[in-house]
Each structure stands twice: as C-alpha cells, then as structure tokens.
A and B are shown apart, each in its own frame.
Chain A
Amino acid sequence: MSVVVRIPTPLRKLTGNQGEVREEGGTVREILDGLESHYPGIRERLTDEAGELRRFINIYLNEEDIRFAEGLDTKVKAGDEVSIIPAIAGGAR
C-alpha cells in the first residue's frame, strides 16, 4: 500500500532534498523499513537502538499522533499521509 511520507528539513539531506516521498507498507514500522532501504541512515535518526521512536520525534498518521494509536505498529492504508515531525523544545536550563 502506497502512502505519502512528509520529510522534515533536517532529514532531507538523506532523501535527496525531497520533502515528500512515497513508500509501501502495511504499518508505520514497514514504512520506516522502506524509507531505510531507499534512504540509508534515516532510521537511526527516527528510532533508538531498541527500535522505538526517539523521544523528540513525533510521527503523525494523517491527523493522529501514532503514540496515541499503536505506535510503530499502527496500520496504514493506501492514500494515508505519514508526517515526521521533530519536536520543538528547549529552554533556559
């Protein structure tokens, strides 16, 4: 199933400057597998050694944060939109 994946600016170095790519897969995890096979190095920017989503990375499936669904096992269907959104955070200390 083909979905659109929105790539944030800091990761576009890995996707040949594309802000939007198409990937196949039945779950978000499979979509990330597809991304890694086409754009090596991208997965380690998104997931940690245990394969879980990094703390400052949010992934939205259409309008929903996958953390509030089934995480990386959230199912996707044709025509869905997956957005990778690095958190915005910081502060004086």
Chain B
Amino acid sequence: MGEAEEILLPPVVLREILDHCRSLRPEEACGLVASDASGRPVAVIPVTNSLHSPVRYQMETREQFAAMKRIRKEGWSLFAIFHSHPLSDPIPSPADIRQAFYPEAYMIIVGLEKEPAVVRGYVVRDGQFFERPLRTEPVPPSGSATP
C-alpha cells in the first residue's frame, strides 16, 4: 500500500456498499471488500453489526470469521473494511482509529447524514488516518455508433 495511491472501486462494488448501508439506516452498517489476485475489488461481503447502533458497530464475530475464511479460500485478499456513519460525516472517529486492527485494509466510510451519500477512503496506521482519493472505474463506452 503506497502513500499517495487512489482507491479504485468498480461501480458495482460501490453500489453494493451504498445499498447495504442505506438499507440498514439508521443503524451503522459494516462489511468487507475482497480483491482478487490482481488487487481489483471483486466482492462485497456484508456483515451484521451486532450492536445495532446508529453510532457504533462491531462485526458479528462468527460472520466475520466466515467472511475472512471465504476470502482466504477464494484466494482473495482483504481490500477494505467499510462501515457507515448514518448521522455524521464520513471521517474516522477516535473509536474507528483505536479499533483499526487491520492496517493492510483500506477503511471506507459512508456518510449518510445527507443525500447524496458521501463515501471516503482512508489508510489508518499507527493511530493516524490519511485520506486517499476514492474513484470508481470508468464505465466502458457503450459504442460510438449513433442511431
């Protein structure tokens, strides 16, 4: 993970993250994003927030274990950990930073206080966070022919 890279998400991955977070509002939602051997995000794995809280989350431990095992079995890597802030800006809180035990994964936060939602990505390491530009892959042109 370099220091100035951007986080590139396929549109379908971003949409799945957003759909999951919106579906659970006003509770915080959470989950994992897995990438394939080339580093491209390929799967969104929602995990239950066992706290069912609008301001805190903790992944249900069995589901988290199963999700991580699935990532390993598929030959994927943990690309990002996402969660939502339904009532505030998508900026890592002291709790987010204190409990960030997976420095190899990006932290993606979805701010749902207003629509449109605001999605931001971070690297969190040694108690500090650094925002990384988050972009969706361009959708290939559907063809140049005009009717």
Contacts and interface: CB of A to CB of B under 8 A. Distances in A.
Q: Is the interface of A mostly helix, strand, loop or mixed?
A: mixed
B65 A56 contact: no
A91 B55 contact: yes
Residue in A65, A83, A89, A92 whose Cβ sees the most chain B Cβ within 10 Å: A92
Contacts of B81: 88
Interface string B42-69: 0000010001011111110110110010
A8 interface: yes
Residue in A56, A65, A88 whose Cβ sees the most chain B Cβ within 10 Å: A88
Interface string B100-120: 111110000000000000000
Interface residues of B, number: 35
A90 B99 contact: yes
Interface string B72-105: 0000000001010111100011011111111110
Contacts, number: 83
Given A10-B101, A10-B103, A56-B99, A88 B58 contact: yes
B30 interface: yes
A90 B92 CA distance: 9
Given A9-B103, A56-B99, A90 B57 contact: yes
Interface string A56-72: 10101001010000000
Interface string B129-144: 0000000000000000
24 contacts: A8-B102, A9-B102, A10-B101, A10-B102, A10-B103, A58-B61, A58-B65, A63-B65, A86-B101, A86-B102, A87-B58, A87-B64, A88-B32, A88-B102, A89-B56, A89-B95, A90-B96, A90-B98, A91-B57, A91-B96, A92-B28, A92-B54, A92-B85, A93-B93
